[in-house]
Structure 1
Amino acid sequence: MLLPSLAKKIIQEVRRLIDEDVIIVDISGTIISSTDNDRIGSFHEGALLSSHERRNIIITKDMEKSLRGVKAGINLPVFFQQKVIGVIGITGEPSKVAHYGEILKKITELLIQESYYAEQIEWNSRALEAFVFDWLQAKDWSPVFYDRAAIIGIDLSVDRQVVLGSIKNSANIAEREIWNQLQQRNHKDNKNFYIRWGNDRFMLLLTGHTKDTILYNLQQLKAQLEADFSVQISLGVGKRVCAKQLRKSFNQAERALLVAKREKKIIFDDDLKIEMLLQEINEETRTEFVSRTIAPLISDGELLQTLRVFIEENQSIKNSANTLHIHINTLHYRLKKIEEITNLDPRSFEDLSTLHIALLLLGEHPKNKELNASSL
């Protein structure tokens, strides 16, 4: 069935090619779209004949008197999967517009095919998304669940590994284009699946790869998406599990993604150490710990950056000063300032450990948006 919305799109595309009036008619003979809006909804007997007889119908001036709703021109049946689904008509002197006919007919049929396959891809995408959501929630698998997996093409007998991706700084149009690119990968890969997971996230279900191969492939994917769409891609990778434990790998990927978003890179859950423990701390405790330790520094980006570099350089005064491009005396002054503000001495191993944990927790602190906005 040819819908009015698609017919309108076809008219808009065809209008760019010719100046003559064009109509799209359904198989009942009703005009559903036209360059002349006054004709929409009216009956066209010539198009009805073209549909029933499955052939081109040329309308002459004389035929305008005997056929209802027609104008001189040509009507061509539009086929999809060997069935007539509508008629395209071009108004004008038949001898002048006839040579446009077959070209416009082919363009129309191509647009219909494109629309059909786009709808199929969208349907498959939504079916896959709904199935994986149920997969993550299900405790027992019913026969219907197995049937759905078979229809989608998912083998439930193999181990799976969840990867969660986050898209940052993207416009809505960029997200659609990113998703279109990921959908194309689904058509090329019948073992791994790419799934839309909300507006700014996506999921990959991987199977049968080594860690090095997964890292390489994800690095390629990240680089390509970031180059093509000017976005920031972060990826968290769970461990490989049997299909019935997919939720476990999903939770691991979520945990890894939290760290990946902070560091703007690819993080495997099995590489997490102290971060693994920190993710188990509830929000109230996180906030309270930050408030008791590092909160007074949040408004001072310079001191926070100094503390981070000091930790990254393993408390080396010389290396830290070089990285920060400051004099060693300036670094000593800043470290002393941090101690005065927090009552924690960054030159003490115990206090520095506390400050390090506080920095890691700071990513989830309510004031962190303020921090991210500053130039660190």
Structure 2
Amino acid sequence: MDVLTADIAALIVDETVKRTQHNINIMNFNGEILASYDKSRIGTRHEGACMVIEEGRTMVFSDTESEGMQGTQAGVNLPIIFQDNIVGVIGITGDPKALEQIADLVKMSTELLLYQNYFTYELEGNIRSQELLVEELLKSEPSKSFIQYLTQQLNTQLYTFRKCIIVNIEKQIFSKNSIVRTLASQLETQSFIIAFTNSNRIVILITGEVQNELDFKVKNIYQIFKRLKLDIQMASSLVFKHLKDFKNAYEECELVFMLNEHNQPLMSFEDVEEKTLLYQSDKEIRERYKKRVLGSLDLQSIETLKHFFKNDLNIAKTAKYLYIHRNTLLYRLEKCEAITGLNPKKYADALKLQIALWC
């Protein structure tokens, strides 16, 4: 990447002139003027800048000294340092004595802007490489050589144990860079891959040296999004070890969203795994079983059963959860038994009813 571009130089000139009321010139490493408040000087050679680059130090030129120097006027010329190297020169036109107070400040501001622009460019390139890696992993026949190339480019250490996470962010504005920076500050950067697959979906591959570490990372990532004040739904897959299984893990997350009937913000495939077994069976078979078992149960009875099973067949807990009297709950359960012939308080019958509800 060329750190000091004409666009960046023009931005530095515009911002600096506003604050100093002095003409500013930005020269590249060859002494050519990249940007100037005096547009007629752009593209010309600045002999003073060439001297600064050659000697590697700030140089001050008076009116007399600058007269015989090509493209040079009285003022202060300072080397622009980036990662310990001179990448250009910034020249401030005017009385050198009057510029003493602002010259170093202008130089510092210029170098800070270069660093900011460089790291933003690097971050955006890194994000794109991660997106390419996820895109490749989701293909039916991913290229092993391309995956290896991308992981080397990203300097990523994908540990043995892995999980896929999908984050859905509905109709909210968010900054890719801020999310990546925040995750990188909380997690080991070499242990995860993040991809923004569309305007409201983020896919993350997390890895760890031990399996138990992954559950902690999932919860940590969820909390990071909450601290960013983003309203999200997040799904995580089962643990897997081989990158070829990433596509299956992604599909597991899709099933979690599909079967998340209560719209919980954080769920894992383990939470719905038994439901997915039914989902993968024939739809007509599921429908037939549901109708045969549940019969003509009304909506209130169905909701009562759902909460009864959610509360582990516990009468007191369910009644409290539904804000109804214990006897009211018992009446509703007896009504269910009368219609279905199955007693919700008995494990075997409750299992049949639960499967029918999942169907």
Q: Is the 8 A contact 1:174 1:229 kept in 2?
A: no
Q: Are 2:250 and 1:250 aligned?
A: yes
In structure 2, the residue matched to 1:323 is 321
Q: Are 2:30 and 1:30 aligned?
A: no
SS at match of 1:108: helix
Q: Are 2:173 and 1:172 aligned?
A: yes
Q: Are 2:12 and 1:7 aligned?
A: no
4+ residue stretches of structure 1 with deviation over 6 A? 281-291, 302-305, 328-339, 343-348
Q: Which amino acid aligns with 2:264?
A: E
Task: State the alpha-carbon separation in 2 of the partners of residues 337 and 176 from structure 1.
Answer: 56
SS at match of 1:241: coil
1:177-196 superposed Cα distances (whole Å, 9 cap, x missing partner): 2122224457x443x12322
1:190-219 superposed Cα distances (whole Å, 9 cap, x missing partner): 3x12322424313123132223x3222322
SS at match of 2:210: coil
In structure 2, the residue matched to 1:237 is 237
1:25-61 superposed Cα distances (whole Å, 9 cap, x missing partner): 44453342x5x4xx23633768453145414343544
Q: Is the 8 A contact 2:193 2:204 kept in 1?
A: yes
Are the structure 2 counterparts of residues 130 and 50 from structure 1 closer, same or farther at C-alpha, using a change threshold of 3 Å?
same
Q: Which amino acid aligns with 1:193?
A: F
- Following TM superposition, by how much is the alpha carbon of 1:104 offset from its aligned partner in structure 2, in angstroms? 2.0
Task: State the alpha-carbon separation in 1 of the partners of residues 305 and 15 from structure 2.
Answer: 59
Q: Which of residues 127, 152, 158 in structure 1 aligns to 2:129?
A: 127
Structure 2 unaligned spans of 5+: none
Task: State the alpha-carbon separation in 1 of the partners of residues 9 and 80 from structure 2.
Answer: 12
Q: Which amino acid aligns with 2:229?
A: F
Q: Which amino acid aligns with 1:322?
A: K
Task: State the alpha-carbon separation in 1 of the partners of residues 61 and 48 from structure 2.
Answer: 11
SS at match of 2:97: helix
Task: State the alpha-carbon separation in 2 of the partners of residues 263 and 91 from structure 1.
Answer: 63
Percent identical residues: 19
Task: State the alpha-carbon separation in 2 of the partners of residues 101 and 283 from structure 1.
Answer: 75
SS at match of 1:262: coil
Q: Which amino acid aligns with 1:263?
A: Q
Task: State the alpha-carbon separation in 2 of the partners of residues 177 and 338 from structure 1.
Answer: 52
Task: State the alpha-carbon separation in 2 of the partners of residues 345 and 4 from structure 1.
Answer: 80
Give TM-score, length-normalised by structure 1: 0.68
Q: Which amino acid aligns with 1:80?
A: F
Are the structure 2 counterparts of residues 144 and 309 from structure 1 closer, same or farther at C-alpha, using a change threshold of 3 Å?
closer
- Following TM superposition, by how much is the alpha carbon of 1:345 offset from its aligned partner in structure 2, in angstroms? 10
In structure 2, the residue matched to 1:196 is 195
Task: State the alpha-carbon separation in 2 of the partners of residues 23 and 243 from structure 1.
Answer: 52
In structure 1, the residue matched to 2:207 is 206
Q: Is the 8 A contact 1:51 1:86 kept in 2?
A: no
Q: Which amino acid aligns with 1:178?
A: I
In structure 2, the residue matched to 1:273 is 273
Task: State the alpha-carbon separation in 1 of the partners of residues 330 and 147 from structure 2.
Answer: 64
Are the structure 2 counterparts of residues 68 and 4 from structure 1 closer, same or farther at C-alpha, using a change threshold of 3 Å?
same
Q: Is the 8 A contact 1:73 1:89 kept in 2?
A: yes
Q: Is the 8 A contact 2:163 2:238 kept in 1?
A: yes
How many residues align? The count is: 343
Task: State the alpha-carbon separation in 2 of the partners of residues 49 and 182 from structure 1.
Answer: 46
1:287-331 superposed Cα distances (whole Å, 9 cap, x missing partner): 99999x99xx9xx9x998666434424566654442232456877
Q: Is the 8 A contact 1:163 1:253 kept in 2?
A: yes
- Following TM superposition, by how much is the alpha carbon of 1:227 offset from its aligned partner in structure 2, in angstroms? 2.1
Aligned Cα RMSD in Å?
4.7
Structure 1 unaligned spans of 5+: 359-376
SS at match of 1:172: coil
SS at match of 1:194: strand
Task: State the alpha-carbon separation in 2 of the partners of residues 50 and 303 from structure 1.
Answer: 84
Are the structure 2 counterparts of residues 250 and 65 from structure 1 closer, same or farther at C-alpha, using a change threshold of 3 Å?
same
Q: Which amino acid aligns with 2:32?
A: G
Are the structure 2 counterparts of residues 234 and 144 from structure 1 closer, same or farther at C-alpha, using a change threshold of 3 Å?
closer
Give TM-score, length-normalised by structure 2: 0.71
Q: Are 2:95 and 1:96 aligned?
A: no
